[in-house]
Chain A
Amino acid sequence: MSVRINNLTISYDHRPAVHHLDMLINQGDWLAIVGPNGAGKSTLLNALAGVVTEYEGDIEGLYPESIAYLPQQSQLDKSFPITVYDLVSTGLWNELGFSRGLNANQHNKCEEALEAVGLHGFENRLIGSLSSGQLQRSLFARVLIQDQHIILLDEPFNAIDTKTLIDLTSIIKKWHENNRTVIMVTHDLDYVREHCPKSLLLARECIDFGVTKSVLTEKNLRHARALSEAFDTHAVWCAG
């Protein structure tokens, strides 16, 4: 199932953070959203995830219950007393809801997910006692459990060591091989060049979108940097 974005504008206080964006994301794409700070990357991802719901234009082919979303760690309350196992199993919310318990099958799924991210034996650790790499691994385990066709990752490799990065990348590669759609926001251009087949270069508006090699050119990147991050205080209402 592909995702089509038509003339999408997301504004804060009438100032566009994402401006007139059109794009088609095919089922099975591994897409990186890159761009300078303040380019609207996370805003776009939040709109795709259904966290931001007020925007102009439309997004077709996305349903909140068919998306697994990996938030930035700063959005979590790490001091809350919850174990790694419980955090991971919250990925089953759509199946379990308010009250159902985990069946044997679902227990196995959790165990397998923890095994896959290399956190076997961490089940009963509180998330507050984890390193940021370990916490990121457990969030990936939760995405694994959610088992969705579309996976959104918000800066998944911030403050992560090389070993963790390699392990988690191999998980993303498996998703890609299984024809799941992976959309990630990142600042790491080298990573994008090496791994992500497609990119969107964003600087509030779309600078370029397509095959990574043709998007991340020096010219495009300069263009993106040149577009001012500051608001134009004399901006008039946009006619588009």
Chain B
Amino acid sequence: MRRVVAAAIRTERAFSTRFSASQQKPVASTSSSSSVPDRATLEKGTVQPTVLKPFVSASLQHEDLFNFEKMVHIDEMFKARLHYGHKVGTVNNNMKWALYGERLGVCLFDLDITKKYLVRALNFVAHVSLRGGMILFVTSNRDTMFDVEKAADEVGQYSHVRKWQSGTLTNTRQLLGASVRLPDAVCFLSTLTSLGENHPAIVEAAKMAIPTIGVVDSNSDPAYLTYLVPANDDTPQSTEYLLRMFKEAVRKGQEERKRQQQGK
């Protein structure tokens, strides 16, 4: 039941952003309108989503449309200290897949895995920005909150670095007095609060079917997050590096969107 409702909400939200892409690509929309998947294909897609790949937009066929693979370097990530985790005793069982090992009692991330997932997240951010989506940057780390606010302001997106008011996403109508457009993606630069609990916005975004990108440390819980970036989220250097990458992704998406609008 929840999955059906979430899927319906996701469909309704994606429709408004997808429609602009259809308008910008008349040829693609024409070809896709002539090849609507039938019921049998849709039912098969619930267990094997790759069978629906021929029906999606041409820009989504490419795994790395914006070529972030060449922009992310492992030595830069190493210098930005993205490979440091927390102490071995605090490791989360659901994060062991991303760890390379431990040294002097500190977990170390496998930067190959981190790069793979970071490229995937950056592509998602760029695609959301290409379609005019709103991205909300969230953190509860006091050392990096001003950097996050500054980065979000530079690319015209939204940020929330203060105490999270319960119901900001699920009860917007009551808190703001009017129904406003919710963010299309939420990016968590740190997923744990100062008390070591999961940020309450993670569950609220999941309830509203908003996709989330989370920078998960070795002691974080990756549940309810859509895109994971296993990396260090405490060091100012690593946060600065990740913010630079996300800003570049948003800018590339916005530039591509501007180019398409001018082309049309």
A and B bind: no
